[in-house]
Amino acid sequence: MKSITIEGQLRTESGKKAARQLRSQKLVPGVIYGGKSEVNFSAPASAFKNIVYTSEFMLANLNVSGNTYNCILKDIQFDKVTDELIHVDFLELVDDKKVIATLPLKYIGTPAGVKAGGKLVTKMKSIKIKTLPKNLKEFIEVDLSNLQLNENIRVENIIATNMEVLNSPRIPIASITMTRQLKQEEAAAAAPKAGAKAAAPAAKK
């Protein structure tokens, strides 16, 4: 699995004033929780770029004043006016403690419905799961090969080994819909052929 290393420093002061002072130095305050104790730290804003501005799931190795913490990103906050990163939350991974994470979905295979002229519509890019840290992965594959025209594949069809999927099982994640061209072709095939002779009226008695 991909990982990123972030170098940070412990912060002893808290509150809005201390946070503003950090941000004026291009530093972002953060917190690590979930382990033995909560760790408040700060790091350069540029250090978070590769984990914040991506749709990929990755681990974060946080080196804070000589101590290393194996974490996942849990929450981020941006300034409402400038859109700058102003706070980050990380969850420390503990071997025997289950975590909740959001993993990307990777769709593979060419759906049978697409081969028949339909259009693939993906409705979810990720799912929320609960599992032990050792079972975390970069993404979960979803094979669409058998998906037919006008069919859906739902959350309950996702194969997530050693994971508990927390999304509602009946939510569609992908479907094959008819294209406009296919609809027109079917309508044309169903319509009577031009020039066809009308049936003769029944003879009167």
CATH superfamily of 100-187: Ribosomal protein L25, C-terminal domain (2.170.120.20)
**Ranges of CATH 2.170.120.20 domains, the chain:** 100-187
- The residue type at 152: N
pLDDT for 26? 85
What CATH number has the domain spanning 3-94?
A: 2.40.240.10
pLDDT in tens, 171-186: 999 999 987 766 676 6
**Which of 7-21, 51-65, 117-131 is least confident?**
7-21
What's the confidence (pLDDT) of residue 192?
65
Residue 44 has pLDDT above 70, yes or no: yes
Q: Residue 160: which of 201, 200, 126 has the closest Cα? A: 126
Global pTM reads: 0.82
Instruction: Calculate mean pLDDT across residues 57-70.
Output: 95
pLDDT at 199 (0 to 100): 52
Q: What is the mean pLDDT of residues 58-77?
A: 95
Q: Which residues pair with 75 in a beta bridge?
A: 89
- CATH 2.40.240.10 range(s) for the chain read 3-94
Q: Running DSSP on this structure, what letter comes out for residue 11?
A: -
Closest by Cα among 185, 176, 186, 182 to 146: 176
